[in-house]
């Protein structure tokens, strides 16, 4: 069966510090991968998606970036965090664009 | 463009009450429609889906019917339980675009 892992589960970082969140998927090959942010009391905002190694599409301009160094690994990064980067970050995978997405348990990021 | 609008919460119900969470969409063509559920501190889980008009998705006592004439996909459950307390998201996929609604928080009281 397929599983998706995100870590860390919780992270507290100072403003201006770097960020690296990791997501890995097991039990499938060549999945579509997604990063979402869920701000407090708000819906999901798609940040990045990837249909293959090294292929990243960005949905919104921001100080975040994403990379896919391996088929089942998706990394969300920032060189300098802003207060507005606080939120709940979710990684997801799917077999294809129209297929249901399967979400990780999320990372709660607090910026101080 | 594609968009999803769902009823604002929070929704508070007593156990065994009837639940409806409204969801309407805007899209060209024939999108696939989904309901996801998010329990506290967790990621989203697919609850049900429908891929064409008049399809009914169902799972765990929840149902939603794809109504193209009213562009709606309302979520219903006949008798809610305390364990159904969560945030519910309506979503659509159309033309390589995935959109989620803002979410509706449901609290069920014993």
Beta bridge partners of A81: none
Tokens in use for A41? 């009391």
**Contact (CB<8Å) B46/A98:** no
Enumerate the residues of chain A whose CB falls inside 8 A of the CB of residue B42. 105-106
pLDDT of residue A61: 66
Mean pLDDT of B28-38: 92
CA distances from B42 to B8, B12, B27 (A): 21, 20, 29
**Contact (CB<8Å) A44/B49:** no
Å between A27 CA and nearest CA of chain B: 18
Which of B43, B49, B91 best probes binding to A when mutated, by most A CB atoms within 10 angstroms? B43
Residue appearing with tokens 């060209």: B28
pLDDT above 70 (res A26)? yes
For residue A97, give the chain B residue with the closest CA: B96
pLDDT of residue A95: 87
Å between B110 CA and nearest CA of chain A: 24
Enumerate the residues of chain B whose CB falls inside 8 A of the CB of residue A106. 41-43
pLDDT digits (tens, 9 = 90+) for A35-76: 999 876 667 888 998 999 999 988 876 789 999 999 999 999
**Contact (CB<8Å) A106/B43:** yes
CA distance A12 to A17: 10
pLDDT above 70 (res B64)? yes
If one compares B108 and A101, the residue with the highest pLDDT of the two is: B108
* Proportion of chain A above pLDDT 70, given as a percent: 95
For residue A98, give the chain B residue with the closest CA: B93
Enumerate the residues of chain B whose CB falls inside 8 A of the CB of residue A100. 34, 46, 49
pLDDT of residue A83: 93
**Contact (CB<8Å) B45/A98:** no
Question: Is the CA virtual torsion A42, A9, B88, A59 positive or negative?
Answer: positive
CA distance A34 to B28: 23
What is the DSSP annotation of A18-30? -EEEEEEEES-SS
If one compares A41 and B66, the residue with the highest pLDDT of the two is: B66
pLDDT digits (tens, 9 = 90+) for B72-91: 999 999 999 999 999 999 99
Run of H or E including B100:
strand B97-100
Residues 6+ apart with CB under 8 A from B2: B25, B26, B27, B28, B31, B92, B94, B95, B97, B99
């Amino acid at each position: 069966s397929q599983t998706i892992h995100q870590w860390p589960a919780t992270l507290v970082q100072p403003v201006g510090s770097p960020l690296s969140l990791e997501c890995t998927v097991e039990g499938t090959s060549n999945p579509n991968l997604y990063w979402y942010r869920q701000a407090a009391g708000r819906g999901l905002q798609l940040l990045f998606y990837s249909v293959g190694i090294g292929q990243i599409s960005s949905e919104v301009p921001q100080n975040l970036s994403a990379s896919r160094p391996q088929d089942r690994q998706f990394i969300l990064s920032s060189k300098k965090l802003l207060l507005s980067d606080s939120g709940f970050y979710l990684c997801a995978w799917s077999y294809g664009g129209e297929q249901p997405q399967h979400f990780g348990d999320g990372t709660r990021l607090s910026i101080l | 463009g594609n968009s999803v609008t769902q009823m604002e919460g929070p929704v508070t119900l007593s156990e065994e009450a009837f639940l409806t969470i409204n969801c309407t969409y805007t899209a060209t063509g024939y999108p696939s429609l989904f309901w996801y559920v998010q329990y506290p501190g967790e990621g989203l889980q697919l609850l049900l889906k429908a891929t064409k008009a008049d399809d009914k998705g169902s799972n765990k006592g929840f149902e939603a019917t794809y109504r193209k004439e009213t562009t709606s996909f309302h979520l219903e459950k006949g008798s809610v339980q305390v364990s159904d307390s969560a945030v519910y998201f309506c979503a659509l996929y159309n033309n390589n675009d995935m959109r989620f609604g803002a979410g509706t928080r449901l609290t069920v009281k014993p």
